[in-house]
Structure 1
Amino acid sequence: MPDAKTVSQAVAKLYDTYPFPPEPILDEPPPGYNWRWNWIAAYNFCTGRKPDTSKIRILDAGCGSGVGTEYLVHLNPEATVTGVDISSGTLEVAQERCRRSGADRVMFHQMDLTAVDTHLGGEFEMINCVGVLHHLPDPIAGIQALAQKLAPGGIFHIFVYAELGRWEIQLMQEAIALLQGQQRGDYTDGVKVGREIFATLPENNPLVQREKERWSLENTRDQCFADMYVHPQEVDYNIRTLFELIDASGLEFVGFSNPGFWQLERLLGRASGLMARGEGLTERDRYRLIELLDPKNITHYEFFLTKPPLPRQDWSEDRTLLAAIPELHPCIDGWESKCLFDYNYQIVNLSDDEFTFMQKCAENGQTQQTIEELCPGEVLDLGMIRHLQQRQLIVLTS
């Protein structure tokens, strides 16, 4: 078993050879948004309300070629951003990417993630760690080091691989390694061997079918193929081992960023008896049941943690809701229109009343009026307003 230093060096070598992600560098801000990288949107998702300030510190832990870092800078104009990565090659790409697009509120550092708690000063209100922990020689040490840098009341966004939906990747990784033999660690050779395997296997081979069905579009790029099939270090999780990782962090689980997927009713809703049994399970056992029943679609877990206290806002009381300040959600596309894309790029068709209220919210960014002040003398449909907030089309400040 290689030691941690040897594994880290091998990972750095892979990304020096194939900087990842390989998205093109632009001379302008990147298109669209990822709501998980927008502080207001992510905080609203976790708490039900807009944060008190946007002047925060953000850490992009394992920033790679800076694709996420660039978004973090542009989506959070009042924040300062720090990016760290183990690979000097990818950091060079990240620096050039951010320079070209004008993302000038970022500092980069080359370091192992387990060193952040001793080598970076201060704490961060938001930490982003996408596709990184599962490549560390000791993911628990990594998450514990990052947890030390999270400010109280801050949020920690994490993405790690899931074993059930990546079974074919695990098999191909091992097959390539066997055929490489002593050449394992030569990543260009690994890509060559992997591509030749796919080109040679019969069309009806399940590995070939899954590659074509799920991964082939992104794997046309060697950087993606190498990251997927010839990576020297990967830990894939299931619900049981995922929560072992989370518990080891000492942080509190806030929730998955795709909560609709984790509703048991989606799978067993037609059987009231099974639903009753499922509702008697613990939350973690329900999550485990869902992944067992829908394994093909569990390729990764994306979720938020926090260091308490993280206040949650309840808008169920009419008086509290009327005293709230409403604004448009920062991650919607297609406004001003009754048909638009929501924070998750899902199509939304607004009713006339919803559209009219959202128009008032759009004008409320400067005046900061409460709902009661914004709609004087009107008979308000508070259920509609709550629905807009729950669908994350508006954000509310108490």
Structure 2
Amino acid sequence: MSDSQNISAKVAKLYDTYPFPPEPLLDEPPPGYNWRWNWLAAYNFCTGQKAPKQDIRILDAGCGSGVSTEYLVHLNPQAQVVGIDLSAGTLEVAKERCKRSGANRVEFHHLSLYDLEQLPGEFDFINSVGVLHHLPDPIRGIQTLAKKLAPGGLMHIFVYGELGRWEIQLMQKAIALLQGDKRGDYPDGVQVGRQIFSSLPQNNRLVKYEQQRWAMENKRDECFADMYVHPQEVDYNIETLFELIDASELEFLGFSNASFWQLDRLLDKAPELMERASHLRSRELYRLIELLDPEVSHYEFFLGRPPLVKADWTADNNLLAAIPERNPCIDGFPSKCIFNYDYQVINLSEAEVEFLQKCDGQATVGEILAGVDFEVDGVSKLLKQQVIMLTRS
């Protein structure tokens, strides 16, 4: 068995022992939404316009217990979804989860990400959350994914960040030292880790970090094991992250938590520093931000395969001719107080509510404005907030 196969076998054993994520199985669709798993919302975020088609193929690469797969099916009612995972035990949980919730447009394959060529065709949307950083060769992994992405397609990736996981790395190493030749016995690792936390002083840095950020979810052994006794983990910083991204030969479309990567939230009181930073390239700026705010425990971002046309609605005539629809990932409408795609509260005016009620995907912005007391600047605001998405007429 090669080193890569040996690592993969250890990873599969972990998830056979502790299927992950451990969310309960429901006899109904999952609650709410994650906009990153909604094709229309994600495409709008990446390109500024509604996707040209909805009857797409979606790959959930490393689907685990099917939490993401279930959402991908329910949030994309015209899509066909394929889920793959290395762990046979976890895959059985995914199948049962989707069966119980009525997510019936999905097929599962017990397959390593490295063996994706065994699946026919390409995919319009590839989701891979928490997978690449557990591979023995993440670059080979992302290149394998990229080969299966169709032209005009999107890829959503989630990988760990080293700066925000420093304390986690220390605990991982401590547990491994105390386990000795019992490494790979995951229940023993969980027991050792919990005993360490219960024995350390309450003012210990590792204890405080665990209690502040992870203690609630780590009550579940599945979560604790995934965090502290995983046999394979690669943590990234901005520099190594973009080495991974560049290896895919895909286009970087942006971080999904775009507001975090705005320097003015950190240095708005120092205009002279902001001026100095204005000369930095985008990757240098990202690096500066994470160095100044080293809480980044993960990176979540989109990649795309050209051609991907980015819409420009700055000219009023283009905006007036566009056809608006409400973003599928808003909650609470037609109330004046709604959640946006990212579950942030937005308070709408009566005029905004009236405009949004007429955004039915048929009339243009200009046609709607002719019948309501609302201005084109207000439409631009709703577009910036991603409350609406637009299609060229």
TM superposition score normalised by structure 2: 0.98
Structure 1 counterpart of 2:85: 85
Cα deviation 1:205-254 (Å, max 9, x = unaligned):
00000000000000000000000000000000000000000001111100
Structure 2 counterpart of 1:56: 56
Instruction: For residue 358 of structure 2, give the secondary structure of its aligned residue in structure 1.
Output: helix
Distance 2:91 2:371 in 1: 57
Cα deviation 1:344-391 (Å, max 9, x = unaligned):
001110122211111111xx14xx111222333656511110110110
Structure 2 counterpart of 1:194: 193
Structure 2 counterpart of 1:113: 113
Structure 1 counterpart of 2:383: 389
Aligned pair count reads 391
**Aligned counterpart in structure 2 of residue 345 of structure 1, from 330, 343, 350:** 343
Question: What is the 5 A alignment of 1:1-398?
Answer: 3-116=3-116, 118-295=117-294, 297-361=295-359, 364-365=360-361, 368-376=362-370, 380-398=374-392
Instruction: For residue 302 of structure 1, give the secondary structure of its aligned residue in structure 2.
Output: strand
Distance 1:137 1:127 in 2: 20
Instruction: For residue 198 of structure 1, give the secondary structure of its aligned residue in structure 2.
Output: helix
TM superposition score normalised by structure 1: 0.97
Displacement of 1:41: 0.1
Instruction: For residue 395 of structure 1, give the secondary structure of its aligned residue in structure 2.
Output: strand
Distance 2:6 2:209 in 1: 32
Distance 1:304 1:102 in 2: 28
Partner amino acid for 1:167? W
How much is the aligned-residue C-alpha RMSD, in angstroms?
A: 1.0
Cα deviation 1:233-276 (Å, max 9, x = unaligned):
00000000000000011111000001110011111111111001
Q: 1:378 to 1:338 in 2, by over 3 A?
A: closer
Cα deviation 1:278-315 (Å, max 9, x = unaligned):
111110000000000000x2010000000111110000
Instruction: For residue 334 of structure 1, give the secondary structure of its aligned residue in structure 2.
Output: coil
Instruction: For residue 242 of structure 2, give the secondary structure of its aligned residue in structure 1.
Output: helix
Q: 1:377 to 1:32 in 2, by over 3 A?
A: closer
Partner amino acid for 1:322? L
Cα deviation 1:11-52 (Å, max 9, x = unaligned):
000000000000000000000000000000000000000011
Structure 1 alignment gaps of length 5 or more: none
Q: 1:376 to 1:112 in 2, by over 3 A?
A: same
Partner amino acid for 1:331? C
Distance 1:13 1:236 in 2: 21
| Identity score, percent | 67
Partner amino acid for 1:219? N
Contact 2:352/2:374, CA 8 A, preserved across alignment? no
Distance 1:148 1:120 in 2: 12
Instruction: For residue 23 of structure 1, give the secondary structure of its aligned residue in structure 2.
Output: coil
Contact 2:351/2:373, CA 8 A, preserved across alignment? no
Distance 1:310 1:103 in 2: 29
Contact 2:62/2:128, CA 8 A, preserved across alignment? yes
Displacement of 1:319: 1.3
Partner amino acid for 1:389? L
Displacement of 1:318: 1.2
Distance 2:369 2:315 in 1: 18
Displacement of 1:169: 0.4
Contact 2:355/2:372, CA 8 A, preserved across alignment? no
Partner amino acid for 1:388? L
Moved more, 101-110 or 352-361: 352-361
Structure 2 alignment gaps of length 5 or more: none
Partner amino acid for 1:233? Q
Distance 1:390 1:149 in 2: 32
Distance 2:242 2:283 in 1: 8
